[in-house]
Amino acid sequence: MEKHKGDDFSGYVEVRGARTHNLKNVDLLVPRDALVVFTGVSGSGKSSLAFGTLYAEAQRRYLESVSPYARRLFNQMSVPEVDQIHGLPPAVALQQGRGAANTRSTVGSVTTISNLLRMLYSRAGNYPDGLGIIYAEGFSSNTPEGACPECHGLGKVYSVTEDSMVPDASLSIRERAIAAWPTAWGGQNQRDILTSMGYDVDVPWKDLPQQTRDWILFTEEQPEVPVYPGLSLKETQKAILQKRQPDYMGTFTSARRHVMHTFANSQSAQMKKRAAQYMLSVRCPLCEGKKLRAASLLVKVAGLDIAEISSLPLARLLEIANVLAYQSDPSRDPIQDGKCVVTFRIANELIARLQVIQDLGLGYLALDRSTPTLSPGELQRLRLATQVQSHLFGVVYVLDEPSAGLHPADTRALMNALQKLRVAGNTVFVVEHEIDVIAQADWIVDVGPAAGESGGEILYSGPADGLKNVPTSLTAKYLYQKSPLAQGQRKPKGWLKLAVVQTNNLKDVEASFPIGVFTAVSGVSGSGKSSLVSRALVQLMREYLGSPAEVEHDDATEEVLHSAEELPVEGKIISGQELITRLVVVDQKPIGRTPRSNLATYTGLFDYVRSLFAKTSLAKSRKYDAGRFSFNVAKGRCPHCKGEGQVMVELLFLPSVYSPCPACGGSRYNAETLQVRYRDKDISEILKMSVDEAWAFFEGEDVIRDSLQVIREVGLGYLRLGQSATELSGGEAQRIKLATELQGKQRGSTLYVLDEPTTGLHPSDVERLLLQLNRLVDAGHTVVVVEHDMDVLAQCDWIIDMGPGAGNEGGTIVAQGKPEDILKASGSKTAPYLKSRMA
């Protein structure tokens, strides 16, 4: 397009020469004040355009305008590769949380509704006689004024018990009855100290007097005694009487002191994690879990204290706010006191905010729900609801897949919220795969034609209905085609029956999962799908199979604590469990949180590659083994970044960022290691290859090729081998896990459980995923997925539809059967949508 001097860019955003990631020097012109949807197959470059270029540039400009200090820091961050962008308004990104989870953050705090409530309680609450006014902070558990002094506002206290620290009381102290004590020398030391103090460390723990046991486990005293390692109890007593020179003086530390001290003070995540194993969290005895000081809890609104009101579903809170607004309405009662004025104002503000949340299908949440327990989609929609009420205008909002986790019945409300932002004078950019969302866009930008190197071009940019005339667009193909019903559905080999499951909102559910077939569990968001599948089914099967919950990440302390307090599932398996020998949960959690973990290492592929390098003649002559080619081992890696290829830059008010290592230029290895070449590539060049490139490169190496092939088949051929875990989306991580699972030997009869595997997938990628899942079923395994995607539902063997509504209005099974049976079920919110997608 020709550009003229003095062009007014207020009407549109123009991008010239974008080359971020795989973008091929593209130009783009999109209208402002419109809902623009970016589409294309996974990996085509939608996010690189919407987030990597447009949002990143808006962010950079904003920071530059703020301060030179921020600008200096920003120089180290990645700058979008683009020639020019005109007409770009300031941007707000509503990305699905890959960030760190803050356990103190709640629905109330992210929506800021808690602030309003605190003001309401402070200024318009009912105070008992004699209680002076409490300021708003006094109703927050995050302030010293408000927090319960016993639990510091956590509502729970961590403690240890005899059972938690001594799992097997038939062991003696020498046999390590006190499991919570340090291992190795530290534990031996404590044992020798006890011997010096006259305790018998060779009798079973349970035979020691209770008083002795309590002292050893719980005392705060730290006596110092002479230690004679290797001597028996008798010999030690004699040595002490004779005042013989001890080896050293040792200090006793009780098991509780050790655990609590390690947990609070250790720098090592490993040690913290170990300590956490012996800790239990219990409800705080002082505030009974309400987190606040006693005085604050005496103040009531609508007969409830602030903790009680915060635990109600938001839909119920909305009802209360309506009543409050009615009662304090000045048009009804013109003689108003100050309290009434405040109540009226705050109640109306509450109504406005709660209504948006309710409209977005989240009325089942409560203010005190902690955000780490929300799905990324729920969190994003909460943030969206907050923005809709923020009265900002002239901003561009950038969102990734806001429909994730949403039943099509809930998508309309989502579109309304997005349109509200637009009508208020904002521009909305959305990266989406959901056909219903795409169809309602004002403007579509389709990126493609395929992924990675084969993508990065703009196939179409224009009003929604023009896309159908673009023959190269895969999006167009799926947008206008219907799904066929699955042919020749498979017969179950048996049934796995669960009964009386009460988890979260489930109401005495009896669920039967067919074995040896492909089942989808559907229902509106909040209806209880995850509670049934990801919690109840998984937990009960884990208990049956006796496998401990797998902890995948290295910094899993939080998780250990969480699982300690996670309530057991109330329910049992009635029958069918003997038909399953193994359980595999393929979730969307990251496959690692540091750049050390990547596609090649996670899948095990890198081990083969490294041994190929070790077999080259140069490596042999220098005696380099396979370990030399690992960036996790000191001998071969770059000493400056310790093999990370990047160094972390801490920013004061922003999340820290990684920037390339100045010493190795991001290659991760030292110069000597890089001299070794296999088929004329060094090891860092291999890591830079995409899976597709590597597949061509390793011709003749069947083991490597086979595992690359599976990754290609799940639609990830565009990923680079060295792409770090931190750069993968949840959906990509899930498919890598699936691929790893597929290439392994599939022993026995496995139950595979997946929670929304199609998140982040273009319909053409969904087709490939289905192929993989069907392969597992054809090999005799059982697959259960939680899904919203109607194409998946249409093609599975069996559907369990939950509902009818969300939260308290859900929690039951409303229909189950083959897809064609669901179509006929009355009361199923899924049926009409399934029908509309089927041919």
Binding site for ligand ADP (CB under 6 A): 21-22, 40, 42-48, 364-365, 369, 373, 431, 452, 504-505, 523, 525-531, 718-719, 727, 802, 807
Long-range interactions of 233-240: CB distance < 8 A, separation 24+: 233/195, 233/198, 233/199, 233/200, 233/201, 233/202, 236/195, 236/196, 237/198, 240/196
User: How far apart (Å, rounded) are the C-alpha atoms in residues 472 and 450?
Assistant: 10
Query: Is residue 148 close enough to count as binding Zn ion by CB under 5 A?
Result: yes
CB of 43 to ligand ADP, least distance (A): 4
State yes or no: residue 683 binds Zn ion (CB under 5 A): no
Say which entry of ligand ADP, Zn ion, none residue 40 contacts (CB below 5 to 8 A, set by partner kind): ligand ADP
What residues are paired with 147 via a beta bridge?
292
Note whether 664 binds Zn ion by CB under 5 A.
yes
Q: Which residue number, 106 or 189, has a Cβ lying nearer to ligand ADP?
A: 106
**Token pair in block for residue 461:** 């940019």
Residue 255, binding choice from ligand ADP, Zn ion, none, Cβ under 5 to 8 Å by partner class: none
DSSP 817-835: ESHHHHHH-TT-SSHHHHH
Please choose which of Zn ion, ligand ADP, none residue 664 contacts, taking the beta carbon within 5 to 8 angstroms, the exact cut-off set by kind.
Zn ion
Span near Zn ion by CB under 5 A; candidates 42-50, 123-131, 516-524, 661-669: 661-669
**Using CB under 5 A, which of the segments 171-179, 416-424, 544-552, 641-649 binds Zn ion?**
641-649
3 state DSSP class of 442? coil
- Which of 51, 752 has the CB closer to ligand ADP? 51
Residue in this structure with the two tokens 């300690």, named with its chain if needed: 564
Residue closer to ligand ADP by CB (options 369, 668) is 369
Closest distance of CB 750 from ligand ADP, Å: 23
C-beta of 521: minimal distance to ligand ADP in Å? 8
Contact of residue 764 among Zn ion, ligand ADP, none (CB under 5-8 Å per partner type)? none
In the complex, the smallest distance separating the C-beta of residue 416 from Zn ion, rounded to whole angstroms, is 41
* Closest distance of CB 26 from ligand ADP, Å: 12
Minimum CB–partner distance for residue 790 and ligand ADP (Å): 16
302 binds Zn ion (CB under 5 A): no
* 286 binds, options Zn ion, ligand ADP, none, Cβ within 5 to 8 A by partner type: Zn ion
The angle that helices 408-423 and 376-388 make with each other, rounded to 10 degrees, is 30
Among 150, 566, 578, 702, binds Zn ion (CB under 5 A): 150
Helices (H), 443-550: 474-479, 529-530, 538-545
C-alpha 296/C-alpha 773 separation (Å) is 54
| Partner that binds at residue 829, options ligand ADP, Zn ion, none, CB closer than 5 to 8 Å by kind | none
**Binding at 727: pick from ligand ADP, Zn ion, none (beta carbon under 5-8 Å per type):** ligand ADP
Stretch of 367-375, 574-582, 657-665, 820-828 contacting Zn ion, by CB under 5 A: 657-665
Of the pair 120, 784, the CB lying nearest ligand ADP is at 784
For residue 831, the minimal CB distance to Zn ion (Å) is 47
Give me the least distance between CB of 411 and ligand ADP, in Å please: 14
> Please, which residues bridge with residue 292 across strands?
147
42 binds, among Zn ion, ligand ADP, none (CB under 5 to 8 A by kind): ligand ADP
| Residue whose CB is less far from ligand ADP, 328 or 759 | 759
Cβ closest to ligand ADP, residue 53 vs residue 164: 53
| Closer CB to ligand ADP, 299 or 687, in the complex | 687
DSSP state of 508: S
If the CB atoms of residues 79 and 294 are measured against ligand ADP, the closer one turns out to be 79
Q: Identity (one letter) of the amino acid at 664?
A: C
Q: From the CB of 805, what's the least distance to ligand ADP, in Å?
A: 10
CB of 725 within 8 A of CB of 783? no
Q: Considering only the stretches 142-150, 243-251, 366-374, 705-713, report the one whose residues sit in contact with Zn ion under the rule CB under 5 A.
A: 142-150
Closest CB to ligand ADP among 754 and 802?
802
> Which among Zn ion, ligand ADP, none contacts residue 138 (Cβ within 5 to 8 A by kind)?
none
**Residue 426: φ, ψ to 5°:** -115, 165
Q: Is 436 helix (H, G, I), strand (E, B) or coil?
A: helix
**Residues 6 or more apart whose Cβ sits within 8 Å of residue 805:** 524, 526, 527
Smaller CB distance to Zn ion: residue 291 or 762? Answer: 291
Q: Does 284 bind Zn ion (CB under 5 A)?
A: yes
Three-state secondary structure readout of 364-431: CCECCCEHHHCCHHHHHHHHHHHHHCCCCCCCEEEEECCCCCCCHHHHHHHHHHHHHHHHCCCEEEEE
The item of ligand ADP, Zn ion, none sharing an interface with residue 287, based on CB under 5 to 8 Å by kind, is: Zn ion
Coil, helix or strand at residue 57? helix
Question: Measured from the CB of residue 34, what is the shortest distance to Zn ion in angstroms?
Answer: 44
Beta strand extents in 704-797 (DSSP E only)? 750-755, 782-786
Contact partner at residue 45 from Zn ion, ligand ADP, none, CB < 5 to 8 Å by partner kind: ligand ADP
Q: What six digits make up the tokens of 803?
A: 């509902």
Burial 745-770 (b: 16+ CB within 10 A, else e): ebeebbbbbbbbbbbbbbbbbbbbbb
CA dist 589 and 753 (Å) reads: 14
Q: Tell me how far apart the alpha carbons of residues 154 and 147 are, in angstroms, rounded to a whole number.
A: 8
For residues 305 and 290, the answer to whether their CB atoms sit within 8 Å is: yes
638 near Zn ion (CB under 5 A): yes
Closer to ligand ADP by Cβ: residue 80 or 138: 80
Cis ω before 226 (30° cut-off from 0): no
- Measured from the CB atom, the residue of 296 and 519 that comes closer to ligand ADP is 519
Min dist. Cβ of residue 373 to ligand ADP (A): 4
Bridge partner list, 583 = 751
The DSSP letter of residue 532 is I
The nearer residue to Zn ion, 23 or 661, going by C-beta atoms, is: 661
Cβ atoms within 10 A of the Cβ of 439, count? 15
Q: How far is the CB of 451 from ligand ADP (least distance, A)?
A: 6
Beta carbon nearer to Zn ion, 59 or 673? 673
Residue 798 near which of ligand ADP, Zn ion, none (CB within 5-8 Å, type-dependent) = none
Q: Which stretch binds Zn ion (CB under 5 A): 95-103, 137-145, 477-485, 660-668?
A: 660-668
Q: Does the footprint of Zn ion cover residue 287 (CB under 5 A)?
A: yes
* Cα–Cα nearest to 567, from 535, 542, 592: 535
DSSP-assigned states of every residue in 620-667: HHTT--GGGG-TTSTTTB-TTTTT-SEEEE--SSS--EEEE-TTTTT-
- Answer for the pair 828, 820: CB distance below 8 angstroms, yes or no: no
Judged by CB under 5 A, the stretch of 162-170, 279-287, 628-636, 779-787 that binds Zn ion is 279-287
Contact 704, 609 (CB under 8 A): yes
Residues that bind Zn ion (CB under 5 A): 148, 150-151, 284, 286-287, 638, 640-641, 661, 663-664
